[in-house]
Amino acid sequence: MGIGHNIKLLLDGKGIKQKDFAEMIGESTVNVSRYLKEQRGIPENLYPIISKTLNISIDDFFENKTIKSKFIPLIGKSSCGKPKDYDLNGYEPVPVPADMYKEGMYAVEADGDSMSPKINDGDYVYCQPNRIIDNGNIVHYWLNGESGIKKYKMNEAGTIISLIPINSDYDVITIHHDEKHELIMARVVGKIDRDF
């Protein structure tokens, strides 16, 4: 018994019909039926989608195939435009490749196009706190409670931080060291399905 059989058992246990599962993963019902009967192999590009849809670990479920993943919390949306105050609670976990995984990682969903074409509206980005942030790195930040994604730059004197959009239609956010502010940053280290 292989992967298709295991998925069928899991679907049965969760009460999910094959037709509904096919819609969830963007496949035809005929193909899903063949995958579950193990008449056809499951394409590897579907593993992360199946993993997220069924909230399972690829490591555990796919019997140590070459694609491996861990799960990290998706904590909410983050502005790629004007910073906003978002509710950063209650989202589903998302898979991250096992070789990229670090303790404490989390993901946010980009909201807007200020970081386009590198990060587009709706993209999930992986964030790693407690990692050194150098000029030019992309960061997820909280500035006075508002969540955003921008490129980080500090001036030579170490007195001004600039949070810079890639899309020039948006303004640079400038923070002077003598201003009262609360700034927390985590380095963006990747995006679902593509490393930076």
- H/E stretch holding 188 reads strand 183-191
Q: Residues 34-87: pLDDT tens digits?
A: 988 888 888 877 888 888 887 776 665 555 444 456 778 888 888 887 766 666
Single-letter amino acid code for the residue at 130: N
How high is the pLDDT of residue 67?
A: 46
Q: Who has greater pLDDT, 11 or 110?
A: 110
In the chain, the percentage of residues whose pLDDT exceeds 70 is: 86
Mean pLDDT, all residues of the chain: 83
3-state secondary structure 1-55: CCHHHHHHHHHHHHCCCHHHHHHHHCCCHHHHHHHHCCCCCCCHHHHHHHHHHHC
| Residues 90, 94, 100: CA angle, nearest 5 degrees | 130
For residue range 87-103, list pLDDT tens digits in order. Answer: 666 667 777 777 778 88
pTM of the model: 0.64
CA distance 76 to 125: 11
Question: What value does the mean pLDDT take over residues 179-189?
Answer: 91
Give the residue from 163, 165, 161, 164 showing the smallest Cα distance to 176: 161
What pLDDT sits at residue 154? 96
pLDDT in tens, 4-20: 877 887 787 778 899 99
Specify the pLDDT at position 195: 41
Interval 94-123 mean pLDDT? 87
